[in-house]
């Protein structure tokens, strides 16, 4: 594997390697051990969308591994003046060892990877957010020590998070239920592909409009904002449509008593989730956010050094 631009670039072995490598790196950091296998390594970090967790985890992760990250935004680079992405790819390939990009269309990441001679990582597009899902899987594994057979209820918008989760759940043999309002389902091609993979792994993939069906006996309840970046003008209209999909005290009663609550953040308290659930004892969102750092580092090592554990 040269690039990681979609969860479809992964498989079960890849995910297992990332989980175990993340655990190894997290333990080293916990013990205060310096581990800098990438001295002299450089990464270009292209951010065409706002970011907190993704940007900081990649910048800190590259530094902790011994490398240097070069942050680039639209206004501070020629991309903001219309330079073709393929030209940027060919130039950066001669300067850096890795390119990380957070952008809008999935096709931009695909074109960047096609013309780049160095690995490319998708740090979020409108269609996918595979790096977040790697951290999610690692976080669940930390608590449950397994993934196969666990039921994950994704409640809300069938957005980029949901698309990537469909594929990840299929690879790992999980039961994945996406509950969305009618007309807001995940992209059909992701559903179709997830079901194809599931036929070989024993996973269960269900898309429904019933949040209670999804939440029933769930091991994990997951939600995300109702209006993603670029959809701000639809926010008020979406609130009315999505309110029946709020993760609240009544909905989580249908989950298992020891369910885990997850959110990729930032969260809009009182919209997709109540304060009570987000800050409650079943919430693991802060562990989930921390693990972005560890899985980002694992992914970099996997792509650049072909590291395994």
Determine the CATH number of domain 132-288.
3.40.50.1370
Same fold, 7-129+290-305 and 132-288: yes
Residues near 299 by Cβ (< 8 Å), separated by ≥ 6? 4, 18, 121, 131, 134
> What architecture (CATH level 2) is domain 7-129+290-305?
3-Layer(aba) Sandwich (3.40)
Domain ranges, ordered by start, for the chain: 7-129+290-305, 132-288
Give the C-alpha separation, 19 to 121, whole Å.
17
How many beta carbons lie within 10 A of that of residue 102, not counting itself? 24
> pLDDT-based confidence at 306, cuts 50/70/90?
confident
72 is in an annotated binding site: no
Count CA atoms closer than 13 A to 122's CA, side-chain side: 32
22 assigned to a ligand binding site: no
pLDDT digits over 25-74, tens only?
Answer: 999 999 999 999 999 999 999 999 999 999 999 999 999 999 999 999 87
Q: Active-site residues: which are they?
A: 102, 129, 132, 224, 264, 292
Tell me the pLDDT tens digit for each residue of 248-302. Answer: 999 999 999 999 999 999 999 999 999 999 999 999 999 999 999 999 999 999 9
| Gyration radius of the chain's alpha carbons | 19
Ligand-binding annotation for 119, yes or no, is no
Q: Please check if 78 is assigned to a binding site.
A: yes
Residue 303: name the closest of 112, 41, 12, 36 by CA.
41
Say if pTM beats, i.e. exceeds, 0.85: yes
Residue 229 among known ligand-binding residues: yes
pLDDT classification of 229: cutoffs 50, 70, 90: low
Pairing between β-strand 204-208 and β-strand 175-179 as defined by DSSP bridges? parallel
pLDDT at 110 over 70: yes
CA–CA gap between residue 110 and residue 120 (Å, rounded): 9
């Amino acid at each position: 594997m040269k690039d990681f631009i979609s969860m479809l670039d992964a498989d079960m072995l890849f995910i297992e390697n990332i989980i175990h490598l993340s655990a190894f790196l997290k333990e080293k950091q916990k013990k205060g051990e310096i581990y800098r296998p990438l001295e002299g390594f450089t990464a270009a970090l292209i951010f065409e969308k706002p970011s907190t967790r993704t940007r900081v985890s990649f910048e800190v992760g590259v530094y902790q591994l011994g490398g240097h990250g070069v942050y680039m935004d639209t206004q501070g680079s020629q991309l903001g003046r219309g330079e073709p992405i393929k030209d940027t790819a060919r130039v950066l390939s001669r300067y850096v060892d890795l390119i990380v990009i957070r952008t809008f269309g999935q096709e931009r990441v695909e074109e960047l990877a096609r013309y780049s001679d160095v690995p490319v990582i998708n740090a979020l597009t409108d269609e996918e957010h595979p790096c977040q899902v790697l951290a999610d899987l690692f976080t669940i594994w930390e608590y449950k020590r397994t993934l196969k057979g666990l039921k994950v209820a994704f409640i809300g918008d069938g957005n980029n998070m949901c698309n990537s989760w469909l594929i990840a759940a299929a690879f790992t043999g999980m039961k994945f239920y996406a509950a969305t309002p009618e007309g807001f389902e995940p992209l059909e091609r992701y559903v179709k592909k997830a079901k194809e993979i599931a036929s070989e792994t024993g996973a269960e993939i269900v898309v429904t409009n019933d949040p209670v069906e999804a939440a029933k006996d769930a091991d994990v309840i997951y939600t995300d904002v109702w209006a993603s970046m670029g959809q701000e003008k639809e926010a008020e209209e979406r609130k009315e449509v999505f309110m029946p999909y709020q993760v609240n005290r009544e909905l989580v009663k249908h989950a298992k008593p020891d369910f885990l609550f997850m959110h990729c953040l930032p969260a809009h308290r009182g919209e997709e989730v109540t304060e009570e659930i987000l800050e409650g004892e079943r919430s693991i969102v802060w562990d989930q956010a921390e693990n972005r750092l560890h899985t980002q580092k694992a992914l970099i090592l996997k792509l650049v050094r072909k590291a395994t554990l």
